[in-house]
């Protein structure tokens, strides 16, 4: 397995540091598969949720017509209306979305946007060159390994608190361990965290290099809700890291290519 740190140049006179770093990388890599990271693949149950059977179908699925399109109001004031027919059109309009008609379709729209984003990432998927990801979902249950930004902070007060140094999901949620959720009707295994009035769930959809940086990512379905309220959240996020045992990074933006 190639690893970029082993090829990177270190400053002269820091040979000891270099050897330690290389040894650490090799030790970490020993926990990974000895072969190169696997090609992008869907996890069991993910294909049914996204309407595909393999990642190679994702690009075509972006233009598959929606069964029941959602009408959007666009731009400030929401006077412009559009009803995108498929994911590619919806993703193109995403930055301009002001609301839905009717307003009650908002939660459906959020999940649809998340699924379309997942398809877009899958369509951009490549075979990773490196991996610092564990082999199983069970291995990522410690909340200290997750960044605080994964926490569904709805208020500015909460968001500001999460941006302070050394914040992790553990400090944000007050919980040490995610609960493992057994596959339900969707067939997808997941992790769930209920704390401080929120319930957060992530489900592992696929693995591969989806953001083009050469490293293995996990594509996750992210869903959140508040206890006792109608607020719901849905996103697709990429989970990754570049050193074994490091805190994961989370990417919830659009693919770079």
Partner 1 sequence: MANFRVPGPIGLSGPTQDLDDGTLTRGVSPRPGPLGLAASGAPGAAATAATDLGWAQIKADMEAHEALILHLYLDSEDKVTVGVGNMLPTLTAAQALGFVLRSDPSRAATAEQIKTDWDQVNAEAGKNKRAASFARLTLLDLPADTCWALLRKRIDGEFLPGLRKLFSGWDGFPTPAKRALLDMAYNLGLNGLKKFRILIGHVEKGEWDKAADACSRKGIPDERNAWTKARFREAMPAATSR
Q: Which residues are near partner 1 by CB under 8 A?
A: 48-49, 67-68, 70, 73, 76, 78, 97-100, 102-108, 110-112, 115, 152-159, 185-186, 197, 223-234
DSSP 182: P
Q: Is the dihedral of CA 157, 160, 165, 168 positive or negative?
A: positive
- The nearest distance, CB 5 to partner 1, in angstroms, is 36
- Determine contact, residues 128/235, Cβ cutoff 8 Å: no
Residues ≥6 apart with Cβ < 8 Å to 169: 143, 144, 145, 146, 147, 148, 150, 151, 175, 193
Q: If 0-12 CB within 10 Å is exposed, 13-18 middle and 19+ buried, where does residue 176 land?
A: exposed
Q: How far is CA 86 from CA 25, 32, 69, 70, 253, in A?
A: 44, 39, 8, 10, 19
- C-beta closer to partner 1: residue 15 or 160: 160
- The nearest distance, CB 101 to partner 1, in angstroms, is 10
- C-beta closer to partner 1: residue 192 or 244: 192
- The nearest distance, CB 170 to partner 1, in angstroms, is 19
- C-beta closer to partner 1: residue 103 or 166: 103
- The nearest distance, CB 107 to partner 1, in angstroms, is 4
- The nearest distance, CB 135 to partner 1, in angstroms, is 27
Q: Is the peptide bond before 71 cis (omega within 30 degrees of 0)?
A: no
- C-beta closer to partner 1: residue 111 or 249: 111
Q: Is the dihedral of CA 231, 220, 186, 63 positive or negative?
A: positive
Q: What is the dihedral of CA 128, 224, 120, 187, to 10 degrees?
A: 70
- The nearest distance, CB 66 to partner 1, in angstroms, is 10
- C-beta closer to partner 1: residue 224 or 239: 224
- C-beta closer to partner 1: residue 13 or 95: 95
């Amino acid at each position: 397995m190639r690893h970029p740190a082993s090829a990177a140049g270190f400053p002269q006179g820091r040979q000891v540091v270099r050897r330690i770093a290389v040894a650490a990388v090799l030790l970490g890599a020993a926990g990974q598969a000895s072969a190169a990271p696997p090609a992008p693949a869907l996890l069991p149950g993910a294909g049914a949720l996204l309407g595909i059977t393999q990642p190679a179908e994702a690009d075509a699925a972006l233009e598959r017509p929606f069964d029941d399109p959602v009408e959007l109001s666009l731009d400030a004031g929401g006077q412009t209306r559009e009803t995108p027919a498929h994911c590619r059109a919806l993703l193109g309009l995403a930055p301009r979305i002001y609301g839905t008609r009717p307003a009650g379709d908002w939660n459906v729209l959020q999940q649809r946007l998340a699924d379309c984003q997942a398809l877009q990432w899958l369509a951009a998927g490549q075979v990773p060159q490196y991996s610092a990801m564990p082999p199983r979902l069970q291995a990522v249950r410690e909340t200290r390994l997750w960044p605080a930004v994964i926490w569904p902070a709805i208020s500015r007060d909460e968001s500001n608190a999460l941006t302070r140094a050394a914040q992790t999901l553990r400090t944000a949620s007050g919980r040490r361990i995610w609960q493992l959720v057994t596959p339900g009707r969707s067939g997808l295994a997941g992790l769930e965290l209920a704390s401080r009035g929120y319930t957060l769930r992530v489900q592992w959809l696929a693995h591969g290099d989806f953001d083009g940086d050469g490293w293995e990512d996990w594509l996750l379905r992210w869903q959140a809700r508040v206890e006792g309220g109608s607020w719901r959240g849905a996103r697709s996020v990429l989970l990754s890291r570049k050193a074994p045992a490091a805190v994961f990074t989370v990417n919830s933006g659009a693919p770079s290519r």
